[in-house]
A and B are shown apart, each in its own frame.
Chain A
Amino acid sequence: MDTTRKIQMNVNGTSYSDEIDVRTTLVDFLRVNCGLTGTHVGCEHGVCGACTILWNGNAVRSCIMLAVQADGSEISTVEGLAPGSELHPIQQAFMEEHGLQCGFCTPGFMMSIYEMISRNPDPSDEEIKDVLGGQICRCTGYQTIFKAVRSAIDKMAAANKSAAQG
């Protein structure tokens, strides 16, 4: 039993460890301790989805998870999508389809979508809706986000196909 604890996690392939107050939320750990501010905080009660990240490959709300719960985990955030100078196909699709306006909710959306396509490269419209239903966007009205998801699926399928052929 502790009020502080030393934890370690791999975020986007890099190891981070720190001694933290056990009440620290995962999103605060990522943003403050790791300096990865691409994950945003929208409601801090698990509704809006702005803080969605991947925890061992699963999309979860990092505002209603303690950092200590992620001790020893693999975490992926928006910063891990495109580490270099090229956008990830999901990001590219969002840009081309105007799937964002203010962009504050977008990292959370993209992480959820990333998980969905990783599980099923060919999801139905209903499956897409199920995933997008857990993310709130106040700007776009979702129509272009839906288009961006379809476009990202096509881009990733094409990339996989050419990789397989290559």
Chain B
Amino acid sequence: MSVKIPTSIDQLPNSNPRFIGQEVNRVEDPSLLTGRTQFIDDLVLPGMLHCAILRSPHPHAKIVSIDTSEAEKLEGVLSVATGKDAKELTNPAPTAPEGWGAYCLAADKVRFVGEPVAAIAATSRYIAEDALELIEIEYENLDVIVDAHKAAQDGSPLIFEEHGSNVMMQRVFTWGEVDQAFADADHVVTEKYRWNRLGANPLETYGCISKWDLLENSLTLWASVQSQSHVALGRAVVLGLPSNKVRVISQPHGGSFGGKGGFRGPDIAAILSRKAGGRPVKWIEDRMEYLGGGAGQSWDRHYELSLALTNDGEVTGLRVKLLDDLGATAEAFGTVSAAKPLAAFVGCYAIPVAEYDLTMVVTNKLPGAPYRGMGPPPHNWALEQTMDVAARKLGLDPTEIRRKNFIQPSQFPYIIPSGNEYDSGEYEAALDGVLEMSQYKALREEQARARQEGRYLGIGVVNTIEPGVFDWNAYAIVGVQGTGVPEGVTIAIDIMGKITCKLGFSLEGQGQYTVVTQVLADYFNVEMADIEIVYQDTLSAPPHFGPGGSRLGVAITGASLGAAEMLVDKLCTVAAVLMQTERENIEFMDGFCRIKGMPDAKMHFAEVAGAILARSDLLPPGMDPSPQATFAWTAAGRTQADDQGRAKSYLTAANACHVVLVEVDIETGHTEILKYFIVDDCGTRLNPSNVEGMTQGGVAQGVGAALLEEYVYDEGGQLLTSTFMDYLMPSVYEVPMTEKKALVTPSPFTPLGAKGAGEGSMHTTPAAIMCAINDALSPLGIKAHEVPAAPNRIWSLIQQARAGESR
């Protein structure tokens, strides 16, 4: 049957919805709050061993020899693995683009500091770490390349000799008559930007237990993974197992933000399990492993961005040149982050033509991984900051230049030059809302007064698009295949009328189990306590992907509503028989199958479900006695990418406008955030407090990006920020308490009109803070175009400016 999914709350079969759209308590919380939720490291299996991994101290070196004999002799050590085992038992990691992956244990050479070279499974982690110290490895150092510009040059040391180059991809994507636009422009503004490596750092690192059953030749993997089906497929490829012999069980996990890849760990643990006769092997990545060798480093980028402008500030063309340093391999899927900006390339603006000159290189650093926002946050900063530079040049207020260029509400759905379609939006209303909330004029006056006193206040006004509900076609330019990301659920009603919803992802923090519970409680007009969410592993669940790409809230709502519609259709069919009428006379409302026009002629869904299960004598012939339905949702209308990467990819375009007031201490270079205001429009808010949590949490990560977080490698390829003493996570002191307001422009395309909402602040906050800092420093003629704006960095710019003045 074709299923029609409600696109607004008032289309639900409930005359008085009580849960959806409300700030209900989360169903996840009681277990989390009492310490009972079982995270991966809480899981103990019979016979379980503990893995520790020996990692390369060299960024680029040949492995001459490995001697594990002493380690093997240590009491408590059950198995040892090296690159030799990896080569024999596994395949290199699959990548996009293809051919830039490596074995899970370095086979012949190491390509980055922290690369796994050997591993131990022992009866405790303590003993496993002791054994690592007994392994002797001889290396022969190779020339090291850590600078992306140099890596791209001919004659640079090669990281993958077989490719003959460190350039993974170099291509210019042109969307429209860009040269013409720039030739015709009254003004061209070109600026360079540097975004340094940072990353997800969920409070729980990655962890897994691999169990390789030698008789069945199957792998069971318990893990703190975000996208279990994707991970399962990867393991099948790497370990050479049939896909239905890999079962991934995703434990609830302590945050992810894209950085829960744990790449290589599951495969290493699998080899150790196999060599230990199939005993389960647990690997818990420790924090130093996460920082130096995990899926926690993202976006190491060099930008040059140009705007073509008319005299009155209309932007007529956009050019973005990106040199993206992906680190040593493409196996952690950082490459897709370079493709995602296509989904919102021109931001909130009706820029008619654009060009993307993209170069991706490998260097001797940790492979780049996804992180919240998946690529656009640096792009957005470069775009928004250049808008400010242009405004200054043309004598416009930052709000004016934005207002002149907004895509207007009447233009939706709107196709941007890079091919994606924006569903809906009210960008000017969001701007007006936040200007009013922040009393923007008063802020400018405050800034002027402060400047009289020799204080440097700055205001950032930034608006962005958050592409929501990702699709694989968004990443076609880096070689990702496919269109559609099915997310499925099964809804079942038991003999007592209670409802279960089975789905294929575990807890991660965004509260999706609560959203499903809200949706179904209102759909069936029951209490939330009457709905039970049941997690299913990769071999049990319907097709699924789980959280990722600001997608799951919308997708799981669609899946739940689709399955509910299917199930209710079946209930109504049976009810018609039971009430001796035709199917088309039956409607479902407020939990009852009722005869249209006869409000009292009705049966409760539980009664009908009970009949399906226990009164086969009453059922229509051929009906299966199963009051359950499975439905997988994917966004409609997605298209295959063309040769320039253009596709309708992300289904929704949420919008946010942030205003931030900062003060820069010009004696120290230190930035303090004084005030922060947000208007955010992600369509219908399924659970407003979930959205608010996503928004504020994204602000915190944005503060980290703008001011604190940075992975620093020295010229020799050594990581200098390898602990939480040096990789600086924002605390309550650095994160501003924000004033927030919602604007609601529902999506016409989605279940209940909701849009993706998980990444918006990460898209916006770094740019907002950086624009504010640049605003503060503009009287000194300083451009702060490198993040994070660490005090040392800002101070140096101030010193340079002063040296320039005195010359």
Closest residue to B740 on the A side, CB-wise? A143
Asked whether, in the complex, the Cβ of B126 is within 8 Å of the Cβ of A21, the reply is: yes
Q: A95-B26, A95-B30, A133-B732 are in contact. Are A104 and B700 (CB under 8 A)?
A: no
Please indicate the chain A residues that have their CB under 8 angstroms from the CB of B778 in the complex: none
Minimum distance in angstroms from A143 CB to a CB of chain B: 5
Please indicate the chain B residues that have their CB under 8 angstroms from the CB of A110 in the complex: 33
Q: What 0/1 pattern do residues 28 to 71 of A give for CB contact below 8 A with B?
A: 00010000111111111101101000000000000000000000
Starting from the known contacts A45-B724, A102-B202, A102-B508, 14 additional A-B residue pairs (CB-CB under 8 Å) come to A24-B126, A31-B42, A78-B35, A87-B33, A95-B30, A98-B689, A98-B693, A103-B32, A103-B33, A105-B203, A142-B737, A143-B735, A145-B732, A146-B732
Residue tally, chain A, CB below 8 Å to B: 52
B37 within 8 A of A: yes
| 3 tightest A-B CB contacts, nearest first | A38-B35, A104-B254, A103-B32
The 6 sampled A-B contact pairs (Cβ below 8 Å) are A94-B33, A101-B697, A138-B255, A139-B509, A140-B693, A142-B731
Interchain CB contact (< 8 A) of A139 among B30, B41, B697:
B697
Minimum distance in angstroms from A156 CB to a CB of chain B: 16
Distance in angstroms between the alpha carbons of A110 and B257 in the assembled complex: 23
| CB within 8 Å of A: which B719-763 residues | 723-725, 729, 731-733, 735, 737-738
Asked whether, in the complex, the Cβ of A44 is within 8 Å of the Cβ of B286, the reply is: yes
Closest residue to A36 on the B side, CB-wise? B35
Distance in angstroms between the alpha carbons of A144 and B327 in the assembled complex: 37
Asked whether, in the complex, the Cβ of B28 is within 8 Å of the Cβ of A141, the reply is: no
Please indicate the chain A residues that have their CB under 8 angstroms from the CB of B37 in the complex: 103
Q: What 0/1 pattern do residues 480 to 508 of B give for CB contact below 8 A with A?
A: 00000000000000000000000000011
Interchain CB contact (< 8 A) of B41 among A41, A48, A132:
A41
Chain B interface main SS type = loop
Q: A94-B33, A132-B732, A140-B696 are in contact. Are A104 and B510 (CB under 8 A)?
A: no
Asked whether, in the complex, the Cβ of B735 is within 8 Å of the Cβ of A142, the reply is: yes
| CB within 8 Å of B: which A65-103 residues | 77-79, 81-82, 87, 91, 94-96, 98, 100-103
Please indicate the chain B residues that have their CB under 8 angstroms from the CB of A144 in the complex: 689, 692-693, 696
Distance in angstroms between the alpha carbons of A37 and B254 in the assembled complex: 14
A136 within 8 A of B: yes
| CB within 8 Å of A: which B32-47 residues | 32-39, 41-42
Please indicate the chain B residues that have their CB under 8 angstroms from the CB of A136 in the complex: 203, 724, 729, 731
Q: Which of A37, A102, A145 is the most central at the interface, judged by chain B CB atoms within 10 Å of its CB?
A: A102
Q: A132-B732, A140-B697 are in contact. Are A43 and B724 (CB under 8 A)?
A: yes
Interchain CB contact (< 8 A) of B202 among A41, A47, A138, A145:
A138
Interchain CB contact (< 8 A) of B699 among A24, A101, A141, A146:
A141
Please indicate the chain B residues that have their CB under 8 angstroms from the CB of A82 in the complex: 33-34
Q: A40-B204, A100-B29 are in contact. Are A48 and B732 (CB under 8 A)?
A: no
Please indicate the chain B residues that have their CB under 8 angstroms from the CB of A132 in the complex: 731-732
Please indicate the chain B residues that have their CB under 8 angstroms from the CB of A41 in the complex: 41, 284
Distance in angstroms between the alpha carbons of A41 and B35 in the assembled complex: 13
Distance in angstroms between the alpha carbons of A137 and B693 in the assembled complex: 12
Q: What 0/1 pattern do residues 272 to 298 of B give for CB contact below 8 A with A?
A: 000000000000101100000000000
A23 within 8 A of B: yes
A129 within 8 A of B: yes
Minimum distance in angstroms from B549 CB to a CB of chain A: 18
Minimum distance in angstroms from A107 CB to a CB of chain B: 5
B628 within 8 A of A: no
Asked whether, in the complex, the Cβ of B700 is within 8 Å of the Cβ of A140, the reply is: yes
B363 within 8 A of A: no
Minimum distance in angstroms from A53 CB to a CB of chain B: 11
Interchain CB contact (< 8 A) of B203 among A24, A96, A102, A129:
A102
Distance in angstroms between the alpha carbons of A41 and B37 in the assembled complex: 14
Please indicate the chain A residues that have their CB under 8 angstroms from the CB of B733 in the complex: 129, 133
Interchain CB contact (< 8 A) of A38 among B25, B34, B203:
B34
Closest residue to A140 on the B side, CB-wise? B697
Asked whether, in the complex, the Cβ of B723 is within 8 Å of the Cβ of A45, the reply is: yes
| CB within 8 Å of A: which B657-693 residues | 689-690, 692-693
Closest residue to B259 on the A side, CB-wise? A138
Please indicate the chain A residues that have their CB under 8 angstroms from the CB of B38 in the complex: 37
Q: A21-B126, A140-B700 are in contact. Are A42 and B732 (CB under 8 A)?
A: no
Asked whether, in the complex, the Cβ of B35 is within 8 Å of the Cβ of A139, the reply is: no
Distance in angstroms between the alpha carbons of A33 and B35 in the assembled complex: 16
Distance in angstroms between the alpha carbons of A41 and B287 in the assembled complex: 9
Asked whether, in the complex, the Cβ of A102 is within 8 Å of the Cβ of B204, the reply is: yes
Asked whether, in the complex, the Cβ of B697 is within 8 Å of the Cβ of A106, the reply is: no
Please indicate the chain A residues that have their CB under 8 angstroms from the CB of B735 in the complex: 141-143
Asked whether, in the complex, the Cβ of A91 is within 8 Å of the Cβ of B33, the reply is: yes
Interchain CB contact (< 8 A) of A137 among B35, B41, B203, B692:
B203
Q: Which of B30, B284, B738 is the most central at the interface, judged by chain A CB atoms within 10 Å of its CB?
A: B30
Interchain CB contact (< 8 A) of B253 among A21, A98, A102:
A102
Q: Which of B30, B511, B732 is the most central at the interface, judged by chain A CB atoms within 10 Å of its CB?
A: B732
Asked whether, in the complex, the Cβ of B692 is within 8 Å of the Cβ of A98, the reply is: yes
Please indicate the chain B residues that have their CB under 8 angstroms from the CB of A77 in the complex: 35
B261 within 8 A of A: no
Distance in angstroms between the alpha carbons of A144 and B701 in the assembled complex: 15
Q: A48-B729, A136-B729 are in contact. Are A101 and B737 (CB under 8 A)?
A: no
Distance in angstroms between the alpha carbons of A48 and B729 in the assembled complex: 9
Interchain CB contact (< 8 A) of A47 among B509, B690, B725:
B725
B698 within 8 A of A: yes
Closest residue to A108 on the B side, CB-wise? B203
Asked whether, in the complex, the Cβ of B731 is within 8 Å of the Cβ of A102, the reply is: no
